[in-house]
């Protein structure tokens, strides 16, 4: 089984690993992201099955232009993977700059919703599929998660809501909820602090982007009557913390 898949945010991490995974099995992949050179490198590596569509997910006109400019063989999209997203910082809410919150909402929520809305008619017509990258933070609060976790709770619930509204239309929708994974995501989150990055992953045997790419490949290649609603995935080393009580 193959088809055409659009994966947002393929310039690093999960998205880049997914582009490789799907091309390996003969899918046509439209990879998106802001960093055109990184997309160009992927294009050189992956060849004719990969189309680089450089745009900023927070710019609706750029989304429209990129979709309008797709080459003929990439125009019929079967699967949309909403992977583009970011976390900025792990400071407690009172210490976070409002701009950081706004940036996360613009990408993780507004950008995701905009491109989904744009492609929905085609995905319905083609009885296609939407895979949304949520997070363990969708469900489990942790200190410093604040707005990042809020955006991911939105993504999870939006996925379930979409699936409900698409009842009977043959469109599959999945929420993928990864935990600790070693990728550029954390370098962005720490503002490029390599020492904090190294400390977080030291001895943790975190998930790798390829683990998530393999999982999403499995989800997308289930028979058409099977819908994986949601999948939460952690490394073995990660689990839940207990409740806290503050005492006066």
**Residue 148 bears catalytic tag:** yes
Pairwise CA distance, residues 92 & 118, whole Å: 35
- For ligand 8X3, which is the closer residue by CB, 86 or 106? 86
Pick out residues in 31-90 that bind ligand 8X3 (CB under 6 A): none
**Contact between 3 and ligand 8X3 per CB under 6 A:** no
CB of 237 to ligand 8X3, least distance (A): 11
CB of 62 to ligand 8X3, least distance (A): 26
**Contact between 144 and ligand 8X3 per CB under 6 A:** no
Distance between first and last Cα of the chain: 61
Pairwise CA distance, residues 213 & 166, whole Å: 25
x-or-dash pattern for ligand 8X3, window 85-124, by CB under 6 A?
----------------------------------------
Judged by CB under 6 A, how many residues of this single chain contact ligand 8X3?
Answer: 5
- For ligand 8X3, which is the closer residue by CB, 36 or 234? 234
Number of Cβ within a 10 Å radius of residue 227: 15
> In the structure encoding, which two tokens stand for residue 3, read together?
């088809």
Kindly name the residue from 142, 148, 197, 201 that is annotated as catalytic: 148
CA 130 from chain centre, in angstroms, equals 11
- For ligand 8X3, which is the closer residue by CB, 4 or 146? 146
Candidates 180, 187, 188, 233: give the one binding ligand 8X3 (CB under 6 A): 180
Residue nearest to ligand 8X3 (CB): 135
Pairwise CA distance, residues 53 & 229, whole Å: 28
> In the structure encoding, which two tokens stand for residue 148, read together?
């990042």
3-state secondary structure of 135: coil
3-state secondary structure of 7: strand
Candidates 136, 155, 166, 212: give the one binding ligand 8X3 (CB under 6 A): 136
Please name the residue that has the structure tokens 């450089």: 54
Please name the residue that has the structure tokens 């609060």: 141
CA angle 101–215–30, rounded 5-degree value: 70
- For ligand 8X3, which is the closer residue by CB, 129 or 134? 134
> Any idea which residues carry the catalytic annotation?
148
Contact positions vs ligand 8X3 (CB under 6 A): 135-137, 179-180
């Amino acid at each position: 089984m193959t088809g055409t898949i659009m994966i947002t945010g393929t310039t690093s991490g999960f998205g880049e690993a997914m582009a490789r995974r799907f091309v390996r099995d003969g899918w046509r992949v439209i990879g998106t992201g802001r960093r055109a050179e990184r997309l160009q490198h992927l294009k050189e590596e992956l060849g004719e099955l990969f189309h680089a569509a450089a745009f900023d997910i927070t710019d609706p006109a750029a989304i429209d232009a990129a979709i309008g400019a797709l080459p003929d063989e990439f125009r019929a999209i079967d699967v949309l993977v909403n992977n583009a997203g970011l976390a900025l910082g792990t400071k407690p809410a009172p210490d976070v700059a409002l701009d950081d919150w706004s940036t996360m909402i613009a990408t993780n929520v507004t950008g995701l919703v905009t491109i989904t809305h744009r492609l929905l008619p085609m995905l319905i017509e083609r009885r296609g599929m939407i895979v949304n990258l949520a997070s363990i933070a969708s469900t489990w609060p942790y200190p410093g998660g604040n707005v990042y976790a809020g955006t991911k709770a939105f993504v999870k619930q939006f996925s379930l809501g979409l699936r409900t509204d698409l009842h009977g239309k043959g469109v599959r929708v999945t929420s993928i909820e990864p935990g600790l994974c070693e990728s550029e995501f954390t370098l962005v989150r720490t503002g490029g602090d390599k020492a904090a990055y190294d400390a977080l992953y030291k001895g943790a045997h975190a998930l790798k982007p390829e683990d998530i790419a393999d999982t999403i490949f499995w989800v997308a290649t289930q028979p058409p009557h099977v819908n994986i609603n949601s999948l939460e995935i952690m490394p073995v080393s990660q689990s839940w913390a207990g409740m806290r009580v503050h005492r006066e």
